[in-house]
Structure 1
Amino acid sequence: MLVTIGTIVDLVVTFNERRQKSSNSYVILVEDNETTGRTSVLSNETSSSGQIQSQRLNPPQPNRGKICQVAVAFSIVTNTRKLLSTSTSSGHLTSLNGMRVLSMFWIILGHTYLFASLGMTVENSLAAVKIIQRFSFQAIINATVSVDTFFFMSGLLVTYLYLKNRQESTDSFNWVLFYFHRYWRLTPVYAFCIMIWGSLFFHTLRGPMAVWRSTPQTQALINECSKSWWANILYINNYYPYSGDINQQCMGWSWYLANDMQFYIISPIILILLYRYRKIGFAVCGGLIGACIFIRAMTAFEFGIHVPNQAVTKHKDNYYGQHAPLYNKMYTRIAPYIVGMLLGYALHKTNCRVRMSKVTVLTGWSVAIATGLSVVYGLYDYYYHSFNASLAVSVIYLAFNRFAWSVALAWVVFACATGYGGLVNSILSWSAWAPLGRLTYCAYLIHPMILEFFFFQPYAYIVSDVNMICYYLGLLVLTYMCAYIVSMAVEAPMLGLEKILIPLMEKAINTLVRFLQSFLRRRPD
């Protein structure tokens, strides 16, 4: 209803503004002066003598009231126009657009195979095992590092934009708006998807599709949102309830949002240190990365986690060890975020202007490519021969794999931002990535629902390259179609409303600060 009303108001107001502009008799006159060749916007005005005079001026800008602005924030016309715009404000960091979209494609690809294996029955199980053992399949089975890409980009952007703001503005930084923006940016559409998953989706499955969703266990899983939705809204669902067990919490894939918000909450400590006390800031960042690596190593050792299957082999009765101890806790995933923050600091300090020799560039790209490939394809021999690595090898890999992946990404972004990206920068900075990049958040929230609805059916399927390609491409397109609907209904309107609310909040905060200062000055000693 709000989207419909906002769209109608937008069309009516835009039509009236254009009609008013055309009635003001503004004409474009080209001066015949060969030395200037300038084009001027002039208005025809009649003097007291009845003669027409020409006066140089600028066309008036439309002044819309607050109520009109709120209504237009829900307009599907305006929001679609913003969505499809290929212009971005990323500046030197345009390579992040392609990295963001391709990582989301990679996540959906990995989840396509995962949901297919969990939902449907495989008819050709022997052929499926051979496909898993292929070298090319390593990119699918190790797709979990794509999530670390988003952690890395989040840390990079929050640091780069903060330092850029401190450089351009002399005013004190408003930390209240810093947190408000993040919560407002993520929560409304997140809550909307929780409603879809925990209510509408559940009732849909009790209807015509109830034949394959009638077990008490599956109904309890979806209905869990009615009990613990508030943990998601508070972004603590990776710890509570069920110790953050992905298989039991509301919208299990939302563990990522909890981690990202927790990183964001503690980021001001690091930002202030990097801005004011550089050496201390570096020391804290290094300590956090080292602590993350150490915790991952000790956890893998304590619970006997071997790659590639990463199953717990010791202390199986331990509740913490039963629920993916290395996967969804912030202290085991913070290293890529800190690497992103350090890169953001480096790019800001150098203003993305660095001169490097060809040898340095070649060495950097070689090390980055080798590091990234070793993370994704390094376990191929164990998958091919179907045996686990030793505990020592497993501990080393699990301790460093996500940190190493983020370091490889750091070089890619650094090289692209400083002019040494070449073809890679041209691909990642392609302007067509921008619209898809704006749908990334909604696509992440909505795609598991689509995959589950499709794959959890009482049918058997045959695993083959052609079948999985058709499944994947169809589900990918459907995901972004649904993401567009969710974005237009919730995400884009909330972003439009934020632009109206923030100036009001700034005035309220400044008024409160002045009142408190005046009150403290008037207090007697």
Structure 2
Amino acid sequence: MSKTLLICLLIFCSVLAADKKKPSCAAAAIQALSGEKLTTILTSTGKTINDLGDYDLCEATPGLKHGTFAFAVKPIGFIYLGVCLPDICTAEEVAPLGQSLLGMSNGTLLNSKFVFHRDETISVTPLRIIGFIVFGLLAIIYIMGVITEYTSLFNRGPSSEAGADVAKNKTVLGKAFLSFSPTRNLWKLFYSPFNSDDPLKVLNGVRVLSMLYVILGHAYYNVLLIPASNPTYIPEITQPLWWQPIPGGFFAVDVFFYLSAFLGSYMMLSKFERSKCLNFGMIYFHRFYRLAPNVFLLIFFAMTFYAYLGSGPVWFEQREKWIKDCPTTFWAYITFVNSIYPGDANGCVGWLWYLSHDMLFFLFLPFQVLLYYRARKVSYIIAYTLLAGNLILVAWLTIHFDVGTSILTNPVEGRKLYFKPWARFGSYQVGMIFGYMYYEYVKGNTPEGKKSTIGYKFFKSVQISKGLRWFFYVLGIGIMLVMVFIVTPDNRRFLRGRYWGNTFAAIYSSLCRPLYVTGLALVLMGPIVGKNEFLQIFLGSRFWAPWAKVAFYSYMVHLFVFTWYFGQMRQSFFLNHKGILWSYFGVIFISIFVATFFSVLFEAPWMQLEKLVLFPPRKKKKVEKLEEEPSLEIMKYNTGLQDKLDDTEVSDTYDTYVDEQSNLKKRAKDSF
């Protein structure tokens, strides 16, 4: 009780000192404290750190309203304090109290904000108006898409063949509207053909599990950003040995870079083999076309609808950390330069640094593929040189910026290294090297393929030798576990100083990500050559296929879901592992549901529009029937292309698969 009265007294003094000509707030507060509202004010005002008081009781009491102080603290995060005051008070009158507390904190508190939640308003800006107009037009187009799908509107003729795709009988305009039909896109998401003979289907499971791993890491990381009733327990969270793999979720992002480079190089090499040239303009356009509309719509959704989805004592601060800078920096996210400029991981959908990195890395891919065809050995030398150069650069930056081995120990890593593209480029190059080698293996399995390439020999040895497969399996898991557990001493010293010195930190920071994805690549060696039945069955199950398609949007929306959940808290969160894990599984379920919704409405329409209107499949030429069936090795050539054409991580157009099949039949015919 005494603490509450002291807080109220400080508020009144700060208000009077701020503006003696307007003592109305202080006078009204003194009057309320001396009347029947005393109990409500004392009950609804916080008494200690991160005590939000009783938000609903204060807001439900006539003449009172609830407000919250938010103090940024070193080295990361916020602490909160809720207060209940007369409704004639303004945030400008109460805010000086926060500034007074900053002076008494000896530098621990960095800045202070105060808001009355009832007075919060979202300014109507031209960008928000544009956002609402865009979503309104999209809603109309979605309705037209459903009408076009289930009626004869825009039909070219009186009827179509029974069982044929409805798009075949539609005009170009009809196909355009059909691309935006939510029901059609939802059906394609869950009922697309599944190639059970494709060894690369195991990457579906890898993609989904990596996405879940990322979200698990963020579940714990976000406890730093929410009001916790026991904040002193935060360092204790990191002590159990079983907890140490959880920060390893940050490596899962590198897995995405590895998969992007592996699939991108392998498929682009396959395409180049057929045409003997690469249309760089179309490659980059296709990549931008697949990603930019999704980023645009997500950011504008955050600035429009998402801003109105919550309420509560900390909703304003929690919401603003992800959207406050969007009106001024959204262009950097749409052009994928946000990881370089403005370079801040927060302020506007901060986790989209991943897409910026991936787009920047992709700029190298066509040139390196072209170099591979011109001079295969030189391309390997260039890839290894870029990898080595990246390791040296990261080691130097680690020492230069005094960065530790763990982002939990030294959050400066997030600003200087962790969120920067040069920290991840090594993982991308590892993926490209394995993509080269896997292409050589697949090509070598064809009659005209070379059997002398390093990729063919390497993967063929894995295919033949069960002992070698198990050796790589154990070695790969061992490498991944070492990269995760070796920083346990630093993780356990969370926010309390580093255990490992600068030399070790430099070596670890430069090697950990490339080695982690190399370990994963070794584990997957057996499955992608058709061996290691357990992993093939588990990771290559049909179950993962639809969720692999929404993994991209699950990553895009999961922190919005976290913020929406924790940002509407009426009481501070009691930290413990059970509570965090329980909320994690709830966020996973909601994130996948929301991601499915967004994937159907935001992502799938542009992919369908590309297939049906912009780059429709070429008509297949009639091929004479073969007297004999082509060999199994020929039929496996370039396997796995079909399921990957819809992946936003792969740069290719729809006609790749059609042309590949035509080319395959021609080669099969010639071989006989």
User: Does TM-score exceed 0.5, indicating one fold?
Assistant: yes
After the TM superposition, list the runs of 4 or more consecutive aligned residues in structure 1 that deviate by more than 6 angstroms: 16-19, 58-61
Matched, 1:288 2:386: yes
Amino acid in structure 2 at the alignment position of 1:460: S
* 1:17 shift after superposition: 11
For 2:359 and 2:372, the matched residues in 1 are separated by 20
Specify the alignment match of 2:601 in structure 1: 489
Distance 1:195 1:420 in 2: 46
The structure in which a higher percent of residues are helix is 1
One-letter code of the match for 2:484? V
CA distance in 1, matches of 2:141, 2:422: 41
- Aligned-residue offset at 1:466: 3.1
- For residues 61 and 238 of structure 1, the distance between their equivalents in structure 2, rounded to whole angstroms, comes to 40
**For residues 220 and 112 of structure 1, do their structure 2 counterparts lie closer, same or farther at Cα, with a shift above 3 Å needed?**
closer
Q: CA RMSD in A?
A: 3.1
Deviations 1:248-302 (A, max 9, x none): 4x21101110000011112111111112211110111001110111111111112
Q: 2:614 aligns with which of 502, 516, 519?
A: 502
Look up the equivalent residue of 1:71 and give its one-letter code.
Answer: F
Once structures 1 and 2 are overlaid, which stretch shifts more, 194-203 or 488-497? 194-203
- Identify if the C-alpha distance between structure 1 residues 475 and 359 changes in structure 2 by more than 3 Å, giving closer, same or farther: same
Cα distance in structure 2, aligned partners of 1:60 and 1:10: 7
The equivalent of 1:466 in structure 2 is 578
Matched, 1:9 2:148: yes
Q: Would you say 1:341 and 2:432 are equivalent positions? A: yes
For the pair 1:269 / 2:367, whether they are aligned, the reply is: yes
1:46-97, Cα deviation, whole Å (9 max, x unpaired):
xxxxxxxxxxxx9999532111111111112211111002634693311110
1:215-294 to 2 correspondences below 5 Å: 219=320, 222-241=323-342, 244-248=343-347, 250-294=348-392
1:79 pairs, out of 180, 185, 205, with 185
SS of 1:461's equivalent?
Answer: coil
**Match of residue 517 from structure 1:** none
Q: State yes or no: 1:161 paired with 2:271.
A: no
Letter in 1 for 2:171: G
Aligned equivalent of 1:94: 201
| Cα distance, 1:204 vs structure 2 | 4.6
After TM superposition, list the pairs within 5 Å mapping 1:15-164 onto structure 2.
Answer: 20=159, 62-85=168-191, 87-88=193-194, 91-123=198-230, 125-126=232-233, 128-164=234-270
Amino acid of the structure 1 residue aligned with 2:345: I
State the structure with bigger RCO (CA 8 A, min sep 6), 1 or 2.
1
Counterpart-to-counterpart distance in 1, 2:152 and 2:592 = 30
Which residue identity lines up with residue 289 of structure 1 in the other structure? L
How many angstroms apart in 2 are the aligned matches of 1:130 and 1:350? 49
State the TM-score, normalizing by the size of structure 2: 0.63
CA offset digits 1:207-226 (Å, max 9, x no partner): x44x32446x9747622100
Q: Where do residues 331-370 of structure 1 align in structure 2 (5 Å cutoff)? A: 331-351=422-442, 354-356=460-462, 357-370=465-478
**Whole-Å separation in 1 of the counterparts to 2:227 and 2:181:** 40
Tell me whether 1:422 sits opposite 2:533 in the alignment. yes
Specify the code of the residue in structure 2 equivalent to 1:490.
F
CA distance in 1, matches of 2:278, 2:508: 41
Contact 1:202 1:223 (8 Å CA) reproduced: no
What is the CA–CA distance in structure 1 between the aligned matches of 2:148 and 2:583, rounded to whole Å? 40
After superposing the two structures, state which structure 1 stretch, 377-386 or 128-137, moved more. Answer: 377-386
Q: Distance in 1 between matches of 2:247 and 2:165?
A: 58
Of 301, 307, 324 in structure 1, the residue corresponding to residue 415 of structure 2 is: 324
Task: Summarize the Cα distance change of 1:87–1:120 in structure 2 as closer, same or farther, 3 Å threshold.
Answer: farther
Distance across 1 between alignment mates of 2:525 and 2:510 = 24
Q: Does 1:176 align with 2:288?
A: no
Partner of 1:447: 558
In the alignment, structure 2 segments of 5+ residues that lack a partner are 1-139, 446-458, 619-672
Which deviates the most, 260-269 or 355-364?
355-364
Output the CA distance in 1 between the equivalents of 2:231 and 2:346. 27
Q: Give the match's secondary structure for 1:366.
A: helix
Larger radius of gyration between Structure 1 and Structure 2 = 2
CA contact (8 A) 2:371 2:378 kept: yes
Q: 1: CA distance between counterparts of 2:229 and 2:341? A: 34
Post-superposition offset of 1:482: 1.0
- Deviation, 1:177, is 1.8
Contact 1:86 1:432 in 2 (8 A): no
* CA deviation string 1:308-332 (max 9, x = no partner): 356669xxxxxxx786222122222
The answer to whether the 8 A contact 2:278-2:366 is kept is no
Q: Give the fraction of aligned pairs with identical amino acids, expressed as a percent.
A: 25
Q: Distance in 1 between matches of 2:305 and 2:158?
A: 44
Matched residue SS, 1:325: helix
Q: Distance in 1 between matches of 2:216 and 2:172?
A: 43
Residues 325 and 500 of structure 1: is their aligned pair in 2 closer, same or farther, counting only changes over 3 Å? same
Q: Which moved more, 1:326-335 or 1:477-486?
A: 326-335
Aligned partner of 1:399 in structure 2 is: 510
Flag the 1:362–1:414 CA change in 2: closer, same or farther, 3 A: closer
Does the 8 Å contact 2:397/2:417 carry over to 1? yes
Aligned to 2:137: none
Matched position secondary structure for 2:360 = helix
Once the two structures are TM-superposed, the CA of residue 453 in structure 1 deviates from its matched residue by: 1.6
Maintained 8 Å contact 2:159/2:169: no
- Whole-angstrom CA distance in 1 between matches of 2:182 and 2:511: 45
Give 1:355 shift: 3.6
The residue that corresponds to 1:33 in the other structure is: none
Please give the per-residue CA displacement for 1:405-453, whole angstroms capped at 9, x wherever unaligned: 1111211232211123331222111111010011111111111111112
**Contact 1:289-1:334 within 8 A present in 2 as well:** yes
In structure 2, the CA distance between the partners of 1:503 and 1:383, relative to structure 1 (3 Å rule), is closer
What secondary structure sits across from 1:143 in the alignment?
helix
> How far, CA to CA, are the matches of 2:265 and 2:216 in structure 1?
30
Match in the other structure for 1:318: none
Q: 1 CA distance for matches of 2:513 and 2:314? A: 37
Which residue type is aligned with residue 222 of structure 2?
F
Indicate the residue corresponding to 1:34 in structure 2: none
Cα displacement (A) at 1:362:
2.4
Q: Quick one: which amino acid aligns to residue 380 of structure 1?
A: T
> Which amino acid counterpart does residue 333 of structure 1 have in structure 2?
R
User: Which has the larger displacement, 375-384 or 472-481?
Assistant: 375-384
Match for residue 212 of structure 1 among 314, 322, 329:
314
CA contact (8 A) 1:124 1:463 kept: yes
**Structure 1 gap ranges (5+):** 27-57, 314-320, 507-525
Tell me the secondary structure at the aligned position of residue 249 of structure 2.
Answer: coil
Structure 2 CA distance, aligned partners of 1:439 and 1:59?
Answer: 23
Q: Judging changes above 3 Å, is the alpha-carbon distance between structure 1 residues 86 and 68 closer, same or farther for their aligned structure 2 residues?
A: closer
Rounded to whole Å, the distance in 2 between the matches of 1:423 and 1:18 is: 50
In the alignment, the residues of structure 2 paired with residue 109 and residue 240 of structure 1 have an alpha-carbon distance, to the nearest angstrom, of 28
Q: Do the aligned partners of 2:235 and 2:492 also contact (CA within 8 Å) in 1? A: no
Measured after TM superposition, the shift of residue 232 of structure 1 is 0.8
Q: Distance in 2 between matches of 1:60 and 1:194?
A: 33
In 2, Cα distance between equivalents of 1:323 and 1:452: 20
Corresponding residue number in structure 2 for 1:52: none
Deviations for 1:456-494, whole angstroms, at most 9, x for unmatched residues?
335222233432232111111111111111112111111
Counterpart CA distance in 2 for 1:505 and 1:60 is 15
Partner AA of 1:406 in structure 2: V
- Contact kept, 8 Å, 1:133 with 1:384, in 2: the verdict is yes
Contact 1:107 1:146 in 2 (8 A): yes
CA distance in 2, matches of 1:108, 1:312: 21
